[in-house]
Amino acid sequence: MKLKNIAKASLALGILTTGIITTTAQPVKANSTISVISNGTKELSEYYKGPYFEYKNQSGYKEREGTVSFIQNMQQTDVTLTGSEKIQFNNDDEVSNVDVFVVRENTDRSGLTKSIGGITKTNTQNHKDYVKNVGLNVTKKIDNNASKMTSNPYNINKEEISLKELDFKLRKQLIDNHDLYKTEPKNSKIRVVMENGDYYTFELNKKLQEHRMGDVIDGTKIKEINVELN
């Protein structure tokens, strides 16, 4: 029996057994800022404060063109392929040995979770603590004449990592530790610098573009991560 049919049968059995697929509501944190911020910035804050899920060493099947479906804990997640993963996985009816980084996008009441990008190959080696440890350097503007810089280690846990996962986790950390989105982000940005001098930029005044969510980079070749908060 194909993986697609096995997965659907398992999902159907789970629904018949439990009667309903449940999801856990996430607590909403109170916004302590007294600054007036735009609706766009509020939406960014809510999105990046939201939950994410990480599934390791998964197998999935193509429900339709450009979408891979995974069944985890009797719940189906449909991932839209974008970026480099669209080229890598689009010709396969089934995918295996992959990790999936999931952020819910437009999930409806059916219990079906929809996500975009975030599929990477599972690590080929066992790593004791992390794949690589790099510097996370945050420069925060205090006023027109002064800035404050802090540097901390940041663990990269995947040999291959999607821009979606990097962007989401870094912004969540900046929200928790550096008050990102308490004020307007203006031209604030994250820059992921590679060992060969290439870099990837995330503009913090907008959500990561969907066509970049499936782009994958070599986590072992990241040199440092620099953040400018204005």
pLDDT at 50: 96
Q: Which CATH class is domain 132-229?
A: alpha beta
Question: What type of residue sits at position 77?
Answer: T
pLDDT at 35: 64
pLDDT in tens, 29-59: 444 445 689 999 999 999 999 999 999 999 9
How would CATH label the architecture of 3-17+51-121?
Answer: Beta Barrel (2.40)
pLDDT at 65: 83
CB 169 within 8 A of CB 162: no
CB 46 within 8 A of CB 27: no
Q: What is the pTM of this model?
A: 0.83
Residues of the chain with pLDDT under 50: 15-25, 28-33
pLDDT at 207: 98
pLDDT in tens, 168-187: 999 999 999 999 999 999 99
Domain with CATH 2.40.50.110 in the chain: 3-17+51-121
* List of E strands, 124-194: 132-143, 146-156, 160-162, 189-194
Domain with CATH 3.10.20.120 in the chain: 132-229
